Amino acid sequence: MHHTPTRGYAAGNILNMLIHLEADLTGYDFSGLSVWQAYLQGTKAQNIHFVRSQFFYLSFNDTFGQVYRVRYSSAGTWLAVTASNLGVRVWQGHNLVQILHLPLHAHTVTFSPDEQYLVTAGSDRTIYFWDIQTGQCVRHFSGHRGQVYALSFADAGRILISGGDSTVRLWNVDTGECSTLDLDSFVSAVAVHPDGHTFAVATGENVIQIRDIQSLDLSATCQGHSHEIRTLAFSPDGNTLASGSYDETIRLWSTHTGHCTLILQKQGESYLREVAFSPCGTFLASASDRGNIHMCNVKQGEHEITLQPGEAFAEQQ
């Protein structure tokens, strides 16, 4: 049973004092503490321990350009970010120690369900599998005719779904064999249903298709966005699909009928880049080009909280 840190400023004040004194924080242990308002940029903080700590309003060393994708591995062991000025980086999830840096341009990243591999893809039309422990590329898949923007695993990691050009490709991870679904326009996002039997794909025609993974048969179509759809996410129970678009709206869809059940308008929020459901399915987080993160109660259709740049919240448990 884990102890929940008590909220307070003591740990953050001590940490800031050490930083002001230009102390070398390498190896310091802040495990189990609640750390508020610490500024770690430019500090020596290798192997600093934050196991089961809670972070509020923290600023870490790396400064990101445009962030393309942020992904946790299935058990939270690893955190990956691909950004315009950082390449691809992987941190340990429990203490935010960087363990891998790949100096490449990738539009999208994902982890294999067993957490052994990081998968990247981008403008060179190739999908790469990287061993997280060694940083070595262990395999690659080629076949796309254009840039790859979306990756998602299915069937317990035995199938990798990719999209970007006017195709969706389903790869057998063991053999490299590929099934191809041809579409009329480019693919901007894919997501796999929690049951592992269906997937959703967003096309350049601002349409979402829900299809069977084995047969590729179309089961539902979702239409309503007026501009490009950049992100998709299924609710944990699989009954709802969320989509975020350059039209500055988030839409919720019934996965059974394809009908839109809720529209969340984000006026002045520029392009929506990412949506994600909470594990309970009650809340939906969204992120935009402006750097704001919104939390919405999708059961009530009400906005809960907005996190702005410099006010980011992260919690490690």
Sequence length of the chain is 317
Among the four given CATH numbers 3.30.300.30, 1.20.1440.60, 3.90.180.10, 2.130.10.10, the one describing domain 66-305:
2.130.10.10
Secondary structure letter of residue 5 according to DSSP: P
- Residue 186: the pLDDT is 92
Torsions phi, psi for 16 (to 5 deg)? -65, -35
Classify 38 in phi/psi space as left (phi over 0), alpha (psi -120 to 50) or beta. beta
Question: Which range among 59-63, 293-297, 308-312 has the greatest average pLDDT?
Answer: 293-297
Each domain of the chain, given as residue ranges in start order, spans 1-61, 66-305
CA distance 160 to 74: 15
Radius of gyration of the CA atoms of the chain, in A? 20
CB 142 within 8 A of CB 125: yes
Torsions phi, psi for 156 (to 5 deg)? 55, 35
Indicate the average pLDDT of the chain: 82
Band of the pLDDT at 310, cuts 50, 70, 90?
A: very low
Query: Which sign, positive or negative, has the C-alpha torsion 161, 184, 142, 88?
Result: negative
Average pLDDT over residues 137-156: 94
pLDDT at 89 over 60: yes
Which pTM was predicted?
Answer: 0.75
CA distance 275 to 281: 12
Secondary structure letter of residue 283 according to DSSP: E
310/163: higher pLDDT: 163
Band of the pLDDT at 312, cuts 50, 70, 90?
A: very low
Residue 119 bridge partners (DSSP): 110, 129
Instruction: Name the nearest CA neighbour of 294 among 272, 261, 279, 316.
Output: 272
Instruction: Tell me how far CA of residue 277 lies from CA of 79, 129, 221, in angstroms.
Output: 17, 26, 21
- Residue 216: the pLDDT is 96
Q: 234 Cβ partners below 8 Å, 6+ apart?
A: 191, 192, 193, 194, 200, 240, 241, 242, 255, 277
